[in-house]
Amino acid sequence: MKPRVFVSGICAVVVAACAVSVTRAQAPAAPAIPALPFHLVENFFHYPAYSVLGRLSGVAVAPNGNIVALNRGYHPVLEFKADGTFIRTWGEGSNMFEGAHTLRFDRQGDLWYIDAADNMLFHFDKDGRTVSTLGTNPEPWTWLTHVIEHAAPGPANFYQQTDIGWSRDGSSFVSDGYGNSRVAKFDKDGNFVKDWGARGAQPGNFNTPHSLVVDNSDVVYVADRGNSRIQTFDTEGNRKAVWNLPTAPWSLCLTNGPNQVMFVGSVGKVYKMDLTGTLLGAFGRSGKVPGTIDSIHQLACPDEKTVYLANLYAGRLDKWVAE
């Protein structure tokens, strides 16, 4: 009897394996993502020779077409004309660029700088003057008098925030970030309104919300990097959709104009999506040398055929265009 049982067991395993093989063979393959005809514009940016850049963490395009780049080196902010001509650098010697994370131009054309290490966002007017901030940083000298060291911060404070976007009524939305894994909303006067989300993998939760944009219809898009997805919300924090991606989204940008599309920066590749969550195509291959794509910490896309990439670890700023 034992040999028969043994043989029967083998047959059962074989049959099960065959069934699994058949099931796998019949499962439809994931559709291939179309290749987009983008190529690098070589030597587009003409900053001074022998410039030492740190990790290239941010890039944004101003309303006048100028390009502003952010890095964690000796010259934190670099500015270029639309043709790549170098204008200037600024921020040298300031300790506010220790956690240089991203840059954004708001709907009025003012520049915002997001510093993750200092837990603050800085708002500059068109003349480059600081006009407001969001968040606050710890001041150790106050701990002996009127501030409690390591006390729980209020909801208007950040814990290594990552990005900011704006709705049409002037409200701002901050992805916060590495520490809190939430989105915080402020009104047009900078007053805290509400927040939503917590660390987790369920819909509505985040695992490092790393980038955030708001479209022309006031839909909020959050790059939920640790969960390899994008989540969308209305301006009150009500979840609209969850888009699972083939890779972790590091950065988001929206094109200008009435018919917006989204570009998603990742590691070694950039994806193009419509605003229903459909992947329209991708370009790039992983690497550190020009012509390849590193970890895209931020990207800017003024139109569907032009993309600026901040290659974080390669310390390189690129312009890519479609044929």
pLDDT in tens, 123-173: 999 999 999 999 988 788 887 888 888 877 889 999 999 999 999 999 999
Distance in angstroms (rounded) separating the CA atoms of residues 113 and 68: 11
Residue 144 is predicted with a pLDDT of: 81
Q: Which residues contact 142 (CB under 8 A, 6 or more apart)?
A: none
Sheet holding 296-303: strands in order across? 38-40, 316-322, 306-311, 296-303
Distance in angstroms (rounded) separating the CA atoms of residues 153 and 195: 14
Distance in angstroms (rounded) separating the CA atoms of residues 101 and 280: 28
Q: Which two tokens stand for residue 232?
A: 């969308």
Residue 312 C-beta-side C-alpha neighbours within 13 Å: 16
pLDDT in tens, 66-108: 999 999 999 999 999 999 999 999 999 988 898 999 999 999 9
Sheet holding 262-265: strands in order across? 251-254, 262-265, 270-273, 279-283
Residue carrying structure tokens 């640790």:
226
| pTM recorded for the entire structure | 0.89
pLDDT in tens, 158-214: 999 999 999 999 999 999 999 999 999 999 999 999 999 999 999 999 999 999 999
pLDDT at 222 over 80: yes
Residue carrying structure tokens 């819909």:
203
Q: Which residues contact 273 (CB under 8 A, 6 or more apart)?
A: 243, 261, 262, 263, 264, 279, 280
Amino acid at 243: W
Distance in angstroms (rounded) separating the CA atoms of residues 318 and 300: 11
Mean pLDDT for the stretch of residues 235-250: 97
Distance in angstroms (rounded) separating the CA atoms of residues 192 and 159: 15
How far is CA 66 from its chain centroid?
21
Residue carrying structure tokens 């043709």:
83
Domains in the chain, ordered, with CATH? 35-322 (2.120.10.30)
